[in-house]
Amino acid sequence: MECGLSPIVGFRFSLYPMADDFVSVIKGALEQTDTSNVWMHTDDVSTVIRGKQVHVFNVAKAIALHAANTGKHIALSGTFSAGCPGDSAGDAYLEKSEKIANTDDTKHYVSSQFALYPLNNPSYMDIIYREVDRAKEQGVFNESMHYASGIHGDIHDVFAFYEEAFSNARSEEHKHLVMTVSMSINSPSHGGL
Amino acid sequence: MECGLSPIVGFRFSLYPMADDFVSVIKGALEQTDTSNVWMHTDDVSTVIRGKQVHVFNVAKAIALHAANTGKHIALSGTFSAGCPGDSAGDAYLEKSEKIANTDDTKHYVSSQFALYPLNNPSYMDIIYREVDRAKEQGVFNESMHYASGIHGDIHDVFAFYEEAFSNARSEEHKHLVMTVSMSINSPSHGGL
């Protein structure tokens, strides 16, 4: 487990198309996404993207959008991380401008669940409750559940909530933050809004 | 986010069959698994099982095994949790005996990745490094990577490692532990052992 004190943000995720042609859905989503603003590596289980927070969230959303645009039931599950002691490869990407590279504004209903884990922080539960309250205020809260919270709505609202939650839960004193997110799109199980 | 001080262990996970008939693979895997030893609830994004640690890991492995036995490429991704402040529903399952209900010993190659997050524990990085070292000693370590560690091998060895890591990383003083696991079976991308 390699970590660091760089301000770099990372997202290790897997895209799961529930379809026989899963390979083409995954490859298509990656190819249609402009990933020039992030360091990226794919192995046999997951893909990791790293760089400025704005680009990591932009690329993650673009990949989900392109996969969702196929109309297939897809899921995206992964972990956002920052401030892990030891992180350095990819720091060159912190020089990129803030201008996002992907601007597809197609709407998709997303049902998702997330958990925040501020590491080595005695007041971590307060941080979690604060962000759950914010989800309720913003209208993206779905339901309470064991070990996670349900967040749903349009994909753009959902990703905006997650990016803000990730910003809010980091602090100068407690830099190491982890946020797990699991989202489902085009599922026959979705009740909708 | 509901949590607690009970010794109950939980696993919130999603099973992802990369196949057009994903619904039947998921339903089949759940139906073929004896889940009588755990509290279980499924929503539109994930399933949560809760109870004694031995049963939570046994049921998780059985569900993965049954899905893998279809020969389809499947993934199982989720979060094991214990000691979350506030947890109580499901405590009745702590009265179950230690006898496991699922004993399918079919072999399957699993490539997986995991991360340990001991909460509110200043020595959390030491705990992580210790378990990664143990993976190397046990021969299930695959590779180092950002934000996670690669664990692979036969499904029974992989699950045994995860259950032991989860036991080792909990302590009386620091009860709240989270472990994310993402595993892939029957993938065309696997290089194998």
- Domain annotation for chain A: domains and CATH numbers: 9-84+105-187 (3.30.70.930)
pLDDT at B47 over 60: yes
Q: Is the CB of A12 less than 8 angstroms away from the CB of B146? A: yes
Instruction: Name the band, by pLDDT with cuts 50, 70 and 90, for residue B86.
Output: low
Q: Indicate the pLDDT class of residue A117, thresholds 50, 70 and 90.
A: very high
Q: Name chain A contacts of B23, Cβ cutoff 8 Å.
A: 188
- Cα–Cα distance for residue pair A186/A25, rounded to 1 Å: 14
Confidence of residue B36 (pLDDT cuts 50, 70, 90): very high
In the stretch 142-181 of chain B, residues with CB closer than 8 A to chain A read 143-150, 178, 180
Chain A residues inside the 8 Å CB shell of B180: 79, 180
User: Is-contact A101 A34, C-beta < 8 A?
Assistant: yes
- State the pLDDT confidence band at B1, using cuts at 50, 70 and 90: very low
Residues in chain B with CB shorter than 8 Å from the CB of A18 are 16-20, 22
Residue A44: which of B18, B50, B187 has the nearest Cβ? B187
Q: What is the mean pLDDT of residues B106-122?
A: 95
- Confidence bin at A84 (pLDDT 50/70/90): confident
Residue B1 with chain A: CB contacts under 8 Å: 115, 128-129, 132, 144-145, 147-149
Arithmetic mean of pLDDT, B126-136: 95
Per-residue pLDDT, averaged over B57-70, amounts to: 97
Q: How confident is the model at residue B172 (pLDDT cuts 50, 70, 90)?
A: confident
- Probe site for chain A from B147, B173, B175 (most A CB atoms < 10 A): B147
Calculate mean pLDDT across residues B25-41. 96
> Is this prediction's ipTM beyond 0.95?
no
Q: How many CB pairs under 8 A join A and B?
A: 170
Predicted confidence band at A87 (pLDDT cuts at 50, 70, 90)? Answer: low
Residue A43 has pLDDT above 60, yes or no: yes
Q: How far, in Å, CA of A84 to CA of A9, rounded?
A: 9
Largest CA distance in chain B: 47
> In angstroms, what CA-CA distances link B69 with A29, A47, A84, B181?
29, 26, 37, 20
* Averaged confidence pLDDT in chain B: 91
Output the six-digit token pair for A147. Answer: 């070990």
- Residue A4 above 60 pLDDT? no
Judged by DSSP in three states, A185 sits in strand
Measured distance CA(B81)–CA(A113) in Å, rounded: 15
Does A40 touch chain B if contact means CB atoms closer than 8 Å?
A: no
**What's the pLDDT score for residue B81?**
95
Minimum CA–CA partner of A121 in chain B: B120
Instruction: Give me the pLDDT at residue A120, please.
Output: 87
Q: Inform me whether the pLDDT recorded for B192 exceeds 90.
A: no
Instruction: Give the residue-averaged pLDDT of B142-166.
Output: 96
In this prediction, residues A25-38 reach a mean pLDDT of 96
The conformation of residue A98, written as its DSSP 8-state character, comes to S
Q: Is the pLDDT of residue B29 over 50?
A: yes
Provide mean pLDDT across the span B107-122.
Answer: 95
Tell me the whole-structure pTM to 2 decimals. 0.94
